[in-house]
Structure 1
Amino acid sequence: MATTSHDTPRVLVVGAGQAGMHVAVRLRHRLRPGEATITVVDPHSYLTYQPLLAEAAAGNLEPRHVVVPLRPVLPGVEVITRAVVSIDHSRRTAYLASDAGAPEPLGYDVVVLAPGSVTRVLPVPGLAERGIGFKTVGEAIHLRNHVLAQLDTAASAGSDAERERALTFVFVGGGYAGVEALAELQDMARAACRHYPGIEPGQMRWVLLEATGRILPEVGERMGHYTADLLRRRGIDIRLDTRLTSVVDGHVVLDDGSEFDAGTLVWTAGVAPHPLLKQTGVPLDERGRVLVTEYLSIVDTPGAWALGDCAAVPDLTRDPGAVCPPSAQHAVRQARVAADNVIAALRGSALKPYRHTSAGSVAGLGLYQGVAQIYRLRLRGMPAWLAHRTYHLLTLPTWNRRLRVVADWTLALLFPREIVSLDALEHARDEFTNAAAEAARRR
């Protein structure tokens, strides 16, 4: 790929998640014509709005409506749908994955690292074979299909043990992703039971495992306890200070000594910095995050910036040494400061530090239920549920997606949930492949 000319610097944004996309949007709006070119590189041509994945998995939202295509949002920006495999900043060159084999070089003048994070997977026996992640739209769709398929399996089970296994759902991780996914999917499954005459909601077993002593630390201790009590009243078995030690062949073994079989295991036990960071040569902290200054510039690396989940951004509102949590709220606000500082550096102007006091947190726990802490205000139940939907509607990029989400929510309130498992979508070529194989055998 060609590099830009010397008098037109190229700003390369690596990653198009909440941080990367918003950096590109602000650069596009604030750079003068011809001042610089903007290139965004990401393996996907869209942003996934992860806070609404749980509702997409539960069928409240059309999965396509929680993703935002990049090209309509970034007109005039070069969008390259590739994976960056390494970066040599001394040569101002990124290397992109190529079908031809050898990585393809892409020159730049300024780089902004925002590749995000990946699921943190621990070496638990059987986890790689049995676990289901919950970070992408594909995983959300798969999980929905899988839960509904487990109800079908239970309805036609030939033994009580098979039925009990199919109706046991285990979620590992008590943060936002795990709690919201569990609450929404349990709500969906309970509603679906009315279409399965032989299955009562009380026959399902939902288990939440959390290695620490509380869930939802983001909403504060008091609201975390309220959430745990609410979920327990709904029949969910919440086990704090408990770790998964094995899940070989679906047999769950916990460090508290208990064992049982489960047909579903969802892994949401944290995230890890993107592995690309180890191939960039930039300074990293002990957890593998990029070391940055309060201006979001990479330490001792001129012309390089980083933000979002991949960066250890100093939190100037807390004690020295504290870093900002990996949340969408921080990512969007860091994007504004990072873009402004990139432009300021190009123009030789003064930089401004990133300083943001969290406005609070919201979480949805199924239809009409939620928890929220907005500054000093604590909400629960319907008010929190409304605050959750309002906040995410306002922060969802583009009016196109906001209107589609409102339409989905309205229809979901007026009509029953869809309970069709479209697992065939995940294996779309299987029928054709089998037919081709059968035709080959006949010849």
Structure 2
Amino acid sequence: MSRPRIVIVGAGFAGYRTAQTLSKLAKGRAEIVLLNPTDYFLYLPLLPQVAAGVLEPRRVTVSLSGTLPHVRLVLGEADHIDLDARQVHYTGPEGEGGTLSYDRLVLAAGSVNKLLPIPGVAEHAHGFRGLPEALYLRDHVTRQVELAAATDDPKRCSSRCTFVVVGAGYTGTEVAAHGQLFTDAQVAKQPLRTGVRPRWILLDIADRVLPELDERLSRTADTVLRERGVDVRMGTSVKEATPDGVLLTDGEFVETRTLVWCVGVRPDPLAESLGLPMERGRLLVDPHLQVPGRPEVFACGDAAAVPDLENPGSYTPMTAQHAWRQGKVCARNIAASFGDGERHAYRHKDLGFVVDLGGVKAAANPLGVNLSGVAAGAVTRGYHLAAMPGNRVRVAADWLLDAVLPRQAVQLGLVRSWSVPLDTASPEVARVPGGPRGNGRSPGGAKAAEPAKNQPGGAPAGNQPGGEPARSRPGREAAKNQPGGEPAKNQPGGEPARNQPGGEPARNQPVGDGPGLAPPSGQPAPGPDVAPGPVRRTDRFTEGDA
């Protein structure tokens, strides 16, 4: 008798945890297949430290094949799921198509950057949901400081050294905090013109930083940011993004070459394509993480609307903590569906949150105890080391080296601006000119992003400030310190990822692409002092996108 096949779509916090737990429970009695665009699990909470040069990129990646025994990895992006035929159709990394049949299906596709109907954002901003975006931002910021130090034009020097971050949730706050330290260290070796210092501006329509957290933690983070020199502007967002800067909702125009988009995330559009009952883009499931009417289909993580049994009438937020725990419950319930054990409803207890502010500073409330300063920094790093499924020693070693040695501020030029567009359904994969078009799904999903109710002029939603122009577009925001991010509650049109880093595109992407690495057809090659400009991409539909 053939073994039943369990197909898991996505290897984020929920998908990885499901595969990990099933591999232990199945003991070879079932075939476990994991479909994912990359061969690694990405620990998103530490992504801002990659962008700031604290950690090397591979430190935040965990090999799927190396840590998931008895799990078959299939590289690809799901295009379509035929529920009646019980098949998942996907596109591989080299454009080849494939089909996976299943007896049980786990949808853990996660989330993508949230788009808002703000002019210029899709063209001039980058997200921060994947490793390519973090690498792009690191190169871009380094380049801007180097170009600013070399110019004789005070105005150009100032604009290059101005970095705008939209979204004061977990990701945006951490990106701004780490970014200010990174650029300050860089200019110490490359002095700028007299009176010019790198300036990071943190915007949010909310009335305070980290609106999802306790007010005391919010005040702690705000104090650290301001003392470090970050220009924190609450109640202000972006009204329009242009190649030369951003127009704010208060009427001020800020000249900048960098706009980081950290306004949160939205569920992967794959969930909505199933035609099943949804809740704000998330697939409705019962407390056992099963889809009503489809007992063979399970969903967990950001893609699933899981009833919150601790708060009747609501759904669990899109955070890594929830995604990780739901993955374990999902695996056990799948095993129970084959007669191994009993089903369990998903329940949770809040363990608190941590926000790394760079250096020895952090804000944390483990088990409801509010901490700040060095104590919070120690708890934060200890939490991440305990939560990571691998690379703990390497991460700790990088932290130690960063404490005693200067950071290496060099451009690697591995990721170009046009290869990490904001509105993509696969932020974890950098686009390659002439490569496969991917799954063809509209990054914006079936519906365009809704304008934020509280955002001026139909700007971004809730507490999440609107878009940013990207000249130097770096790149979550998924919950940063929470494994698996979730958008802020006060975020317009959805909730921004709590610990998710947000990213943004760089306007002045380094030049000098070799053969085969040229921008897409019709896209002018950026010069040393010319922004790449709006990218004419082929990976999106013309309708339905914000």
Match of 1:418 in 2: 408
Is 1:220 the counterpart of 2:214 in the alignment?
yes
- Partners of 2:134 and 2:16 in 1: CA distance: 22
For 1:275-286, what aligned pairs fall within 5 Å after superposition? Answer: 275-285=269-279
User: How far did residue 210 of structure 1 move?
Assistant: 0.8
Secondary structure of 1:317's partner?
coil
User: How far did residue 93 of structure 1 move?
Assistant: 0.8
Q: Of the two, which has the highest radius of gyration?
A: 1
Q: Is the contact made by 1:153 and 1:166 (CA closer than 8 Å) also made in structure 2?
A: yes
Moved more, 94-103 or 160-169: 94-103
Q: Is the contact made by 1:172 and 1:208 (CA closer than 8 Å) also made in structure 2?
A: yes
Moved more, 220-229 or 402-411: 220-229
- Partners of 2:245 and 2:410 in 1: CA distance: 27
Secondary structure of 1:290's partner?
strand
Match of 2:495 in 1: none
- Partners of 1:13 and 1:429 in 2: CA distance: 40
1:70 to 58, 64, 69: 64
- Partners of 2:387 and 2:84 in 1: CA distance: 37
Match of 2:20 in 1: 25
TM-score normalised to structure 1 length: 0.91
The verdict on how the C-alpha distance between 1:351 and 1:430 changes in structure 2, with shifts beyond 3 A counting, is same
Match of 1:251 in 2: 245
Q: What do residues 388-438 of structure 1 show as CA deviations (whole Å, max 9, x unaligned)?
A: 11000111112xx11111111111112111111222565898245699xxx
Match of 1:43 in 2: 37
For 1:206-355, what aligned pairs fall within 5 Å after superposition? Answer: 206-285=200-279, 287-318=280-311, 320-347=312-339, 349-355=341-347
Is 1:408 the counterpart of 2:398 in the alignment?
yes
Q: Is the contact made by 1:89 and 1:281 (CA closer than 8 Å) also made in structure 2?
A: no
Moved more, 291-300 or 39-48: 291-300
Q: What do residues 112-144 of structure 1 show as CA deviations (whole Å, max 9, x unaligned)?
A: 000000000212222223212111111111111
Segments of 5+ residues of structure 2 without an aligned counterpart are 417-509, 519-546
Is 1:127 the counterpart of 2:121 in the alignment?
yes
Match of 2:361 in 1: 369
User: How far did residue 49 of structure 1 move?
Assistant: 0.4
Runs of at least 4 residues off by over 4 Å: 98-103, 199-202, 424-429, 432-435
Q: Which amino acid in 1 is paired with 2:290?
A: S
Match of 2:378 in 1: 386
- Partners of 2:194 and 2:174 in 1: CA distance: 22
Match of 1:357 in 2: 349
- Partners of 2:195 and 2:329 in 1: CA distance: 49
2:135 to 141, 144, 151: 141
- Partners of 1:423 and 1:430 in 2: CA distance: 9
Q: What do residues 329-362 of structure 1 show as CA deviations (whole Å, max 9, x unaligned)?
A: 1111111111001101111753111111110000
Q: Is the contact made by 1:219 and 1:372 (CA closer than 8 Å) also made in structure 2?
A: no
- Partners of 1:334 and 1:198 in 2: CA distance: 49
User: How far did residue 282 of structure 1 move?
Assistant: 2.9
User: How far did residue 264 of structure 1 move?
Assistant: 0.5
User: How far did residue 201 of structure 1 move?
Assistant: 8.8
Aligned residues: 425
Q: Is the contact made by 1:130 and 1:250 (CA closer than 8 Å) also made in structure 2?
A: no
Q: Is the contact made by 2:364 and 2:376 (CA closer than 8 Å) also made in structure 1?
A: yes
Secondary structure of 1:111's partner?
strand
Match of 1:9 in 2: 4
Identical columns (%): 39
Q: Which amino acid in 2 is paired with 1:24?
A: A
Q: Which amino acid in 2 is paired with 1:386?
A: A
- Partners of 2:113 and 2:82 in 1: CA distance: 26
Moved more, 200-209 or 137-146: 200-209
Q: Is the contact made by 1:193 and 1:199 (CA closer than 8 Å) also made in structure 2?
A: no
Secondary structure of 1:281's partner?
coil
Q: Which amino acid in 2 is paired with 1:111?
A: L
Q: Which amino acid in 1 is paired with 2:401?
A: L
Is 1:430 the counterpart of 2:513 in the alignment?
yes
Secondary structure of 2:313's partner?
coil
- Partners of 2:142 and 2:386 in 1: CA distance: 31
User: How far did residue 374 of structure 1 move?
Assistant: 1.1
The verdict on how the C-alpha distance between 1:153 and 1:354 changes in structure 2, with shifts beyond 3 A counting, is same
Match of 1:440 in 2: none
- Partners of 2:46 and 2:244 in 1: CA distance: 28
Match of 1:157 in 2: 151
User: How far did residue 203 of structure 1 move?
Assistant: 2.0
TM-score normalised to structure 2 length: 0.74
Secondary structure of 2:410's partner?
coil
- Partners of 2:42 and 2:193 in 1: CA distance: 34
The verdict on how the C-alpha distance between 1:366 and 1:434 changes in structure 2, with shifts beyond 3 A counting, is closer
The verdict on how the C-alpha distance between 1:208 and 1:101 changes in structure 2, with shifts beyond 3 A counting, is closer
- Partners of 2:245 and 2:511 in 1: CA distance: 30
Secondary structure of 1:153's partner?
helix
Q: Which amino acid in 2 is paired with 1:366?
A: G
- Partners of 1:247 and 1:425 in 2: CA distance: 22
User: How far did residue 266 of structure 1 move?
Assistant: 0.2
> Which gives a bigger RCO, structure 1 or 2 (Cα 8 Å, sep 6+)?
2
Q: Which amino acid in 2 is paired with 1:125?
A: P
Q: Is the contact made by 2:180 and 2:229 (CA closer than 8 Å) also made in structure 1?
A: no
Q: Is the contact made by 1:85 and 1:103 (CA closer than 8 Å) also made in structure 2?
A: no
User: How far did residue 299 of structure 1 move?
Assistant: 2.4
User: How far did residue 253 of structure 1 move?
Assistant: 0.6
- Partners of 1:102 and 1:377 in 2: CA distance: 51
Secondary structure of 2:328's partner?
helix
User: How far did residue 86 of structure 1 move?
Assistant: 0.9
Q: Which amino acid in 1 is paired with 2:22?
A: L
Secondary structure of 1:181's partner?
helix
